[in-house]
């Protein structure tokens, strides 16, 4: 059974924005194998992602709530596209999530999508491998880098 963090009460290290339940479960299982999925929250569409982002706005945020360490964002999601979620996230300097790394994780390898994602502020761009073993390996590498190797801005600011 897949267990997702509840952003209203649990800390969130990774926000996964993915409309495919199957892909979301594959990501969760890949990360659980290395103990990286304990604080993984899932937004199933662009509106849920925007609601999550808005919950960190200073006007409505809970005191002491830490932003996720990374956002994994699919481009082709319903209600609000991944590119528009990215623009919204990068366009609001007041939210603590403005500096959160955003790794686009998508099936699109089109140069136009890649250029546009970086132009709107993506930190990285990963094309989802089709073969499960490679998919699992790539998701684990992304999570390990952002959760254990990368030094987040929030840590540097507090020192």
116-136 pLDDT, tens per residue?
999 999 999 999 999 999 999
CA 50 to chain centre: 12
* Domain chopping of the chain, boundaries: 14-157
Residue 57's pLDDT is what?
73
What does the mean pLDDT of the chain come to?
88
Strand partners, 102: 71
Total H helices, total E strands in the chain: 6, 5
CA distance 141 to 39: 17
Q: Are strands 70-73 and 40-43 parallel, antiparallel or unpaired?
A: unpaired
First CA to last CA distance, the chain: 39
Q: Give residue 89's pLDDT.
A: 92
Q: Which CATH superfamily is domain 14-157 in?
A: Response regulator (3.40.50.2300)
**Contact assessment for residue 144 and residue 136, using Cβ atoms and an 8 Å cutoff:** no
């Amino acid at each position: 059974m897949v267990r997702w963090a509840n952003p209203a009460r649990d800390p969130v290290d990774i926000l996964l924005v993915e409309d495919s339940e199957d892909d979301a479960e594959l990501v969760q299982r890949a990360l659980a194998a290395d103990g990286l999925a304990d604080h993984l929250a899932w937004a199933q569409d662009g509106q849920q992602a925007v609601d999550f982002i808005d919950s960190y706005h200073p006007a409505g945020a809970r005191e002491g709530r830490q932003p996720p360490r990374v956002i994994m964002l699919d481009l082709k999601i319903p209600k609000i596209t991944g590119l528009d979620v990215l623009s919204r996230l990068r366009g609001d300097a007041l939210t603590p999530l403005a500096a959160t790394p955003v790794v686009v994780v998508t099936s699109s390898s089109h140069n136009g999508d890649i250029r546009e994602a970086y132009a709107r502020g993506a930190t990285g761009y990963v094309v989802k491998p089709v073969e499960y073993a490679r998919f699992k390996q790539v998701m684990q590498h992304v999570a390990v880098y952002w959760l254990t190797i990368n030094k987040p801005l929030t840590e540097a600011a507090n020192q």
